Amino acid sequence: MTEPAANLASLLEPREQAALVRPDGSRWSYAELYDRVAKLAGGLHARDIGPGDRVVLLVPLSPELYQCLLALAWVGATTVLIDPGADAGARLARIGPTGLIGIPKAHLLRLKIPALRHLDLSLTVGGWAPLASRIETLDGPPPPMCADPGPALLTFTSGTTGAAKAMARSHARLLAQHHALQDHLDVGPTDVDLPTLPVFSLHSLAGGATCVLPDADLRAPGSVDPARLVAQIRTEGVTTSAGSPALFQRLADHLVETGQTLPDLRALWLGGARVPVDLVETLCQVLPEARIEIIYGSTEAEPIAFLDGRAHLHTLREGAGRGALVGRPVDSVMVRLDDDEVQVAGDHVNPGYVDDPEADAAHKVHERTPEGEVRTWHRTGDCGFLDEDGMLWLLGRVGERVAGHWPHPTEAAAEALPFVRKAGLVEIGGAAQLAVAMFEDHPPDWSEQVRAVCGVAPVQVAEVPVDSRHNAKVDRPALVALLNAGSG
Per the structure, the count of domains in the chain is 3
Please report whether residue 170 resides in a domain. Answer: no
3-state secondary structure of 402: strand
3-state secondary structure of 24: coil
The DSSP line for 100-121 is EEE-GGGGGGGGT-GGGSS-SE
- Predicted pLDDT of residue 488: 43
Angle value at C-alpha 386, between 380 and 390, nearest 5 degrees? 120
Does the pLDDT at position 326 exceed 90?
yes
Does the pLDDT at position 212 exceed 80?
yes
Please report whether residue 115 resides in a domain. Answer: yes
Q: How confident is the model at residue 368 (pLDDT cuts 50, 70, 90)?
A: very high
Please check whether residues 28 and 73 belong to one and the same domain. yes
Give the side-chain half-sphere CA count within 13 A for 379.
15
Q: In what order do the strands lie in the sheet with 153-156?
A: 133-134, 121-124, 99-102, 54-58, 78-80, 153-156, 166-169
Question: In this predicted model, what pLDDT tens digit does every residue of 399-419 receive, in sequence order?
Answer: 999 999 999 999 999 999 999
CA 177, 299, 397, 416 torsion-angle sign: negative
Domain boundary pick from 124, 156, 188: 156
- Predicted pLDDT of residue 341: 98
Give percent above pLDDT 90 in the chain. Answer: 80
Q: What is the mean pLDDT of residues 298-303?
A: 90
Please check whether residues 319 and 217 belong to one and the same domain. yes
Q: What is the mean pLDDT of residues 243-254?
A: 94
Name which residue leads in pLDDT, 370 or 259.
259
Please check whether residues 341 and 425 belong to one and the same domain. no
Name which residue leads in pLDDT, 161 or 202.
202
Does the pLDDT at position 1 exceed 60?
no
Question: In this predicted model, what pLDDT tens digit does every residue of 446-483 receive, in sequence order?
Answer: 999 999 999 999 999 999 999 887 778 899 999 999 99
Please check whether residues 478 and 357 belong to one and the same domain. no
Domain boundary pick from 104, 121, 156: 156
Please check whether residues 230 and 357 belong to one and the same domain. yes
CA 459, CA 472: separation in Å to the nearest integer? Answer: 20
- Predicted pLDDT of residue 241: 96
**Pairing of the two strands 240-243 and 210-212:** unpaired
Range of the domain at 82: 8-156
3-state secondary structure of 382: strand
Please check whether residues 331 and 186 belong to one and the same domain. yes
Please report whether residue 309 resides in a domain. Answer: yes
Question: In this predicted model, what pLDDT tens digit does every residue of 415-439 receive, in sequence order?
Answer: 999 999 999 999 998 899 999 999 9
3-state secondary structure of 145: coil
Question: In this predicted model, what pLDDT tens digit does every residue of 99-142 receive, in sequence order?
Answer: 999 999 999 999 999 999 999 999 999 999 998 999 999 988 99
Q: Give 221's DSSP letter.
A: G
Question: In this predicted model, what pLDDT tens digit does every residue of 15-37 receive, in sequence order?
Answer: 999 999 999 999 999 999 999 99
- Predicted pLDDT of residue 185: 87
Please report whether residue 31 resides in a domain. Answer: yes
> Residue 79 in contact with residue 72, Cβ under 8 Å?
yes
Does the pLDDT at position 2 exceed 50?
no
CA 11, CA 208: separation in Å to the nearest integer? Answer: 9
Please check whether residues 253 and 373 belong to one and the same domain. yes
Does the pLDDT at position 53 exceed 70?
yes
Name the residue type at position 156.
Answer: F
- Predicted pLDDT of residue 83: 84
Please report whether residue 260 resides in a domain. Answer: yes
Helix (H) or strand (E) segment spanning residue 304 = strand 301-308
Please check whether residues 103 and 184 belong to one and the same domain. no
CA 469, CA 220: separation in Å to the nearest integer? Answer: 7
| Low-confidence winner among 156-170, 215-229, 244-258, 346-360 (lowest mean pLDDT) | 156-170
Please check whether residues 186 and 289 belong to one and the same domain. yes
Helix (H) or strand (E) segment spanning residue 325 = strand 324-329
Q: Where are the beta strands (DSSP E) in 348-413?
A: 364-368, 374-386, 392-397
Q: What is the mean pLDDT of residues 334-342?
A: 97
Please report whether residue 166 resides in a domain. Answer: no
pLDDT, mean over the chain: 92
> Residue 282 in contact with residue 257, Cβ under 8 Å?
no
Does the pLDDT at position 219 exceed 70?
yes
Q: What is the mean pLDDT of residues 230-235?
A: 97
Please report whether residue 466 resides in a domain. Answer: yes
- Predicted pLDDT of residue 158: 66
Q: Where residue 127 sits, what CATH number does that domain have?
A: 3.40.50.12780
> Residue 326 in contact with residue 393, Cβ under 8 Å?
yes
Name which residue leads in pLDDT, 157 or 275.
275
- Predicted pLDDT of residue 220: 84
Biggest CA-to-CA distance, the chain = 73
3-state secondary structure of 177: helix
Domain boundary pick from 128, 156, 184: 156
Please check whether residues 432 and 476 belong to one and the same domain. yes
Name which residue leads in pLDDT, 85 or 243.
243
Q: How confident is the model at residue 4 (pLDDT cuts 50, 70, 90)?
A: very low
Please check whether residues 465 and 385 belong to one and the same domain. no
Please check whether residues 306 and 448 belong to one and the same domain. no
Nearest alpha-carbon partner for 248 in 264, 237, 265? 265
Please report whether residue 304 resides in a domain. Answer: yes
